[in-house]
Chains A and B, each alone.
Chain A
Amino acid sequence: EDQVTQSPEALRLQEGESSSLNCSYTVSGLRGLFWYRQDPGKGPEFLFTLYSAGEEKEKERLKATLTKKESFLHITAPKPEDSATYLCAVPGGTSYGKLTFGQGTILTVHP
């Protein structure tokens, strides 16, 4: 059974204070790893897909990296608008829509 564990559960940063979120996974054959952002009361918004160890992707202040056991979401010089819950997920079976999600990391960035 696929398992995804995210840490920390919550992270409070000052504006400009860089940090990283962790997503560790146990799957029988990784077919990809997804990062989503979720604002309170809204549906998750897609950020990145990583397919193989060593792959990196960037979007504004966010950079996602992937190893054989975990993924990191690095946040550089965060702003208050980066406050959200960040979710990672892995696909199960043969469908990329059947995702196993982690519990998420609640990020709060204070001005």
Chain B
Amino acid sequence: SQTIHQWPATLVQPVGSPLSLECTVEGTSNPNLYWYRQAAGRGLQLLFYSIGIDQISSEVPQNLSASRPQDRQFILSSKKLLLSDSGFYLCAWMRVGSGANVLTFGAGSRLTVL
């Protein structure tokens, strides 16, 4: 069976510090990978998605970047955090070509920028 892992689960960082959130998927190969953010009082917003290694698309202009160094690893980064980067970050995956069309989410990483 497939599983998705995110870490760290909780993070408190000062403004201007760097960020690295990691996500890995097990039990599948060549998945589509996604980063979503859920800010307080707002719905989920797609930040980045990837259809393969080093193939990243950004959906919204922002202070964040994403990388996919391995097939089942997706990393969300920032060089200098802003207060507005606080939120609940969710990694998700989808199997390609199966027809199931179901996006499966990880448990999330709660980021608080002070």
Contacts and interface: CB of A to CB of B under 8 A. Distances in A.
Which of B45, B46, B103 has the most chain A CB atoms closer than 10 A to its own CB? B103
B43 A34 contact: no
Given A87-B44, A98-B46, A44 B90 contact: yes
For A34, A43, A99, the residue with the greatest tally of chain B CB atoms inside 10 Å of its CB is A43
B94 A96 contact: yes
A34 B94 CA distance: 14
Mostly, the B contact residues are: strand
Number of contact residues on A: which range applies? 20 to 34
A37 to B, nearest CB: 11
B74 interface: no
A29 interface: no
> 8 nearest interchain CB pairs?
A43-B105, A96-B101, A101-B43, A101-B44, A97-B94, A103-B43, A43-B108, A44-B105
A98 B105 contact: no
A97 B103 contact: yes
7 contacts: A41-B110, A43-B107, A46-B102, A95-B32, A96-B102, A97-B92, A99-B46
A48 B33 CA distance: 20
Interface of A: 4, 32, 34, 36, 41-46, 49, 87, 89, 91, 95-99, 101-104
B38 to A, nearest CB: 9
Contacts of B43: 4, 87, 101-104
